[in-house]
Amino acid sequence: MHMKKFLVLLSLLFVFSNNLFAIEESKIVDVMKDKVDRVIAILQEKEKTKLEKTDRIFSIMDELFDYKVMSQIALGRDWTNLSDKEKDKFTKLFELKLKNSYIDKLDLYTNEEIVIDNIKKLNPKRIKLLTYVIGKDDKYEIEYKFYKDGTSNWLIYDVNIIGVSIMQTYRQQFAEYLKNNSFNNLLVSLNDTSN
């Protein structure tokens, strides 16, 4: 159970993007290795407080994801019915929810090994990066999914943990919630879980 919770923590290490940091295809593996190594080093610092660690980790990892695209995936067809203002508000609250979830799980790290494997091109505009979390008794796969933007650069839009998409999981949860509740109620709910 501990390892599965840690997998969520690891995936959330990357889900904090205010500013997009597009990566060239040839540099994806090296950039990810560098960032993972830096984050793991911070997690291993015993003298630092949780707040100090999270601030430093966010400064390293807040550039990799296209957060607006992730929010669009998470809301599915409901996204198209929103105004620009509503989209912006949802995106900010969704980011806060993920950050707070990460902070809550920070203490779960217990020196697991993180191995960045290789990339696999799914089609001309989609790539996945295979990563493995190796614990004392288990080994789990995490896939980081990249898409090619309008230039030649690549941005992350989803993460699969043991074959389960984080964005698709949220999409199912939000769709179920919106069957019986308004979008404003969803924003209130996200705001409550973000505080």
CATH fold label, 2-194: Nuclear Transport Factor 2; Chain: A, (3.10.450)
Amino acid at 6: F
Q: Where are the domains of the chain?
A: 2-194
- DSSP symbol at 18: S
Average of per-residue pLDDT across 185-194: 86
DSSP letter for each residue of 93-111: HHHHHHHHHHHHHGGG--S
pLDDT of residue 4: 53
Question: For the whole model, what pTM was predicted?
Answer: 0.80
- DSSP symbol at 57: H
Cβ proximity of 66 and 125 under 8 Å:
no
Sort residue 31 into left (φ over 0), alpha (ψ -120 to 50) or beta.
alpha
Q: How far is CA 45 from the centre of its chain?
A: 23
* Strand (E) or helix (H) holding 133: strand 126-134
Query: What's the pLDDT band for 181 if we cut at 50, 70, 90?
Result: very high
Average of per-residue pLDDT across 75-82: 93
- Whether 55 has a pLDDT exceeding 90, the answer reads no
